[in-house]
Structure 1
Amino acid sequence: MQTQLIQLVRNIYSTNDFIPLHAPTFTGNEQTYLAETITSTFVSSVGKFVSEFEQKIEAFTHTSRAIATVNGTAALHSALHLSDVKAGDLVLTQALTFVATCNALHHMGAKPVFIDIELNSFGLCPNATSAWLSDNAMLDGDDQCRHKESGAAIKAVMPMHTFGHPVQIDELLTICQEWNLTLIEDAAESLGSYYKNQHTGTLGRFGALSFNGNKVITTGGGGMLLCREQADGMRAKHITTTAKVPHAYEFYHDEAGFNYRMPNLNAALGCAQMEQLQAKLANKRVIAKRYAEFFEGSNFRFVKEPDYARSNYWLNAVVCPDLDTRNTLLETTNAQGVMTRPVWQLMHRLPMFANALRGDLTNSEWAEARLVNLPSSPVGK
């Protein structure tokens, strides 16, 4: 199986050289727009490409307002701040996620509560979320959701669309309404993914995208905060621009803000990449189809988009039969110059989150021992 898989990957990418997990591709106007930015001297957060990039994302995702940030973690941090998450508050999220999800909480002084995933999307499980709240939470006299034992406020639910596969948003929204919680979507990996024909990151109050170098499109470093409401968008732009009150020459800041705006240089790269987004998404679906056909009938399960969704297949993934098979696959492919990776170590295994509250994580631990990501770079334009 490993030998045939390596040959398949080499056929997909038409090379015998090293094949990375997900490399950026630059085949359009990137150099032209970057040169224009340098010539203009507007290379920082003031410049035409920042606004243009935001408008392109708004049009593509159909969100009310998109605010460009320096990275996806900054977008999540801003969303938590705008959701009134404070030090000591609790936020429900998944243990199977990239560490940035929890780092954003840590920077707020807030604490994660780790809830299990479901094995269709590998995202936050609504049943596990509801069960944990029923057993451990209550609404006080002001309808504030609180942890029964500690009295800590529970402010939000923050699922991640794992590998670009949308979670069960409707069910999570219902839970959030019942418990008076804010839904914040960590949509970092899911540009081009749709839940029931609506783009991820636009169903909760806030969503956060990432444009890191390994994403579907890249700005080098960068993120985007998606806001369902225009009023949230206006406030998001204000606080991410150091909360500076507009004035011809005075420097007055009306609250503590963040210096989180995306530079024009990065946005120029993003505008060029957006022109190729549909082609990249189409190519990624072709690659996913080839993997799916390869694993069909084997004792490996290729991770496909849920029935209710259309996924971007950011990182293709396969479920191995067991831990030993997973390790053999990882060792063989990497030794042959084909990069594969296990899923992230579960967050509660990391020292800074080892003492976090958590529910039963049976599915998360099962997936951690079996998931392997496969090369997923888009091919060509």
Structure 2
Amino acid sequence: MNPEQISAFIRQLYQSDDFIPLHAPTFNGNEKRYVSETIDSTFVSSVGQFVDQFEQAIEAFTGCAKAVATVNGTAALHTALYMAGVKQGDLVITQALTFVATCNALYHMGAEPVFCDISEKSLGLCPKSVDQFLSEQAALDAQGCYHKTTGKRIKAVVPMHTFGHPVELDELVTVCQKWQLTLVEDAAESLGSYYKGQHTGTFSDYSALSFNGNKVITTGGGGMVLCRSQDAGQKTKHVTTTAKVPHPYEFFHDEPGFNYRMPNLNAALGCAQMEVLPQFLQQKRELASRYADFFAGTPFRFVHEPDYARSNYWLNAIICPDQDSREQLLQETNAAGVMTRPVWQLMHRLPMFANALRGDLSYSEYIEARLVNLPSSPVTPHTD
């Protein structure tokens, strides 16, 4: 199988001779109507009915106790980490194979990432890799977990559900309990993904979703903090709304806060998208199934959901036989107007995280050299 055949198959799926993007938003519901209602109401900023409605829709869909809408996914993760007690100078274990936003959120709160390897099952943070790093380099005292060489506190573990495939959450929870660490899920890519029947982002006290333009549903720009209790949710909403104490006219803020509240305009878009989310998810599973069948028995290995999970298949991916075949596929498909992309460069290769502590990253490096993402827009594919 060659890149030309792969491009032809993708064009057949989407029945298009035009440029095929990696993941485009789909607007065929009430988006225009709700956005127009927002404009007519003049409540286009962070106060408006659609913000509350969008939060309630996410709560109902994911099963979290309270959802708090934010301006983007990075703001949601920053808030989740802040609420989880991560402070300046803390070390936070995460994966090197992730989008840079995971580490940017840590950087801007003065925390430092520690990189561990990913799992072959999920392409997300590997529990065994985390436990091995901690066993070799960490210890416990009365204040909790610390890094033996630097003396710095290890506060949290942040797995990212790569391409929407849930990580091994039971095992990660066990590791966190063993080492007295706080779990914070980066669920930015996993709306509609389930681990053993439970929605991702609901296994930790705080987690983060993203609604960027390329996600399963979009609000243009936007994110959401998922909270495991009503009290935590109310506190999170307060902090993301400049910590302003309610009053008819006085401006009193009782702690430092963030101006992270999602505007009503964005939430209107989100409410319309939530109405068709089940349809999007079904279409994406059909697309993933077609890809899996197409690549079966070829040198290209399709990335399936883990056997313990139901994935949203946000981005479909294949693992090429080697780096040369990956480069050839990327070059020829993109030249043919079919957008494909490599996985992100590993975080420790970026200048701002080059000196971060890390364990063995062998499988992360293997995947970095071979993985290619394929067009994954939630459109029902055709084969006739």
Question: TM bucket by the smaller chain?
Answer: over 0.9
Tell whether the 8 Å contact from 1:27 to 1:380 is kept in structure 2 after alignment.
no
CA displacement at 1:380 relative to structure 2:
5.9
- Match of 1:70? 71
- In 1, Cα distance between the equivalents of 2:142 and 2:219? 46
- Match of 1:334? 334
Residues 1:5 and 2:6 are matched in the alignment: yes
- Match of 2:286? 286
- Structure 1 runs (4+) deviating above 3 angstroms are none
Tell whether the 8 Å contact from 1:201 to 1:226 is kept in structure 2 after alignment.
yes
- Match of 2:311? 311
- In 1, Cα distance between the equivalents of 2:206 and 2:85? 12
Structure 2: gaps of 5 or more residues: none
- In 2, Cα distance between the equivalents of 1:312 and 1:29? 22
- Match of 2:300? 300
- 1:158-201 Cα shifts (integer Å, max 9, x gaps): 00000000000000001111111110000000000000000000
CA displacement at 1:228 relative to structure 2:
1.0
Tell whether the 8 Å contact from 1:94 to 1:123 is kept in structure 2 after alignment.
yes
Residues 1:163 and 2:151 are matched in the alignment: no
Residues 1:25 and 2:26 are matched in the alignment: yes
- Match of 1:204? 204
TM-score, length-scaled by structure 1:
0.99
- In 2, Cα distance between the equivalents of 1:21 and 1:141? 49
Instruction: Specify the SS of the correspondent of 1:112.
Output: strand
Tell whether the 8 Å contact from 2:91 to 2:155 is kept in structure 1 after alignment.
yes
CA displacement at 1:243 relative to structure 2:
0.4
- 1:1-54 Cα shifts (integer Å, max 9, x gaps): 212211111111110000000000100000000000000000000000000000
- In 1, Cα distance between the equivalents of 2:264 and 2:188? 20
- In 2, Cα distance between the equivalents of 1:79 and 1:66? 11
- Match of 1:154? 154
**Matched residues, number:** 380
Tell whether the 8 Å contact from 1:284 to 1:312 is kept in structure 2 after alignment.
yes
CA displacement at 1:359 relative to structure 2:
0.3
Amino acid at match of 1:313: Y
- Match of 1:42? 43
Amino acid at match of 2:94: T
CA displacement at 1:206 relative to structure 2:
1.3
- In 1, Cα distance between the equivalents of 2:66 and 2:350? 35
Higher mean alpha-carbon deviation, 38-47 vs 198-207, is at 198-207
Amino acid at match of 1:27: N
Tell whether the 8 Å contact from 1:25 to 1:380 is kept in structure 2 after alignment.
no
- 1:290-343 Cα shifts (integer Å, max 9, x gaps): 100000001111000000000000000000000000000000100000000000
- Match of 1:373? 373
Residues 1:178 and 2:178 are matched in the alignment: yes
Tell whether the 8 Å contact from 2:287 to 2:380 is kept in structure 1 after alignment.
no
- In 2, Cα distance between the equivalents of 1:298 and 1:12? 19
Instruction: Specify the SS of the correspondent of 1:267.
Output: helix
- In 2, Cα distance between the equivalents of 1:365 and 1:255? 43
Structure 1: gaps of 5 or more residues: none
CA displacement at 1:269 relative to structure 2:
0.1
- Match of 1:56? 57
Instruction: Specify the SS of the correspondent of 1:139.
Output: strand
Tell whether the 8 Å contact from 2:286 to 2:380 is kept in structure 1 after alignment.
no
- In 2, Cα distance between the equivalents of 1:9 and 1:294? 10
- Match of 2:97? 96
Amino acid at match of 1:266: N
Tell whether the 8 Å contact from 1:65 to 1:233 is kept in structure 2 after alignment.
yes
- Match of 1:87? 88
- In 2, Cα distance between the equivalents of 1:51 and 1:321? 48
Tell whether the 8 Å contact from 1:96 to 1:347 is kept in structure 2 after alignment.
yes
- Match of 1:251? 251
- In 1, Cα distance between the equivalents of 2:195 and 2:4? 36
CA displacement at 1:222 relative to structure 2:
0.0
- Match of 1:192? 192
Instruction: Specify the SS of the correspondent of 1:344.
Output: coil
Tell whether the 8 Å contact from 1:136 to 1:148 is kept in structure 2 after alignment.
yes
CA displacement at 1:141 relative to structure 2:
2.0
- In 2, Cα distance between the equivalents of 1:195 and 1:77? 24
Judged with a 3 Å threshold, the aligned counterparts in structure 2 of structure 1 residues 37 and 380 are, in CA distance, closer, same or farther, namely: farther
- Match of 1:359? 359
CA displacement at 1:55 relative to structure 2:
0.1
- In 2, Cα distance between the equivalents of 1:379 and 1:141? 54
TM-score, length-scaled by structure 2:
0.98
Higher mean alpha-carbon deviation, 223-232 vs 155-164, is at 223-232
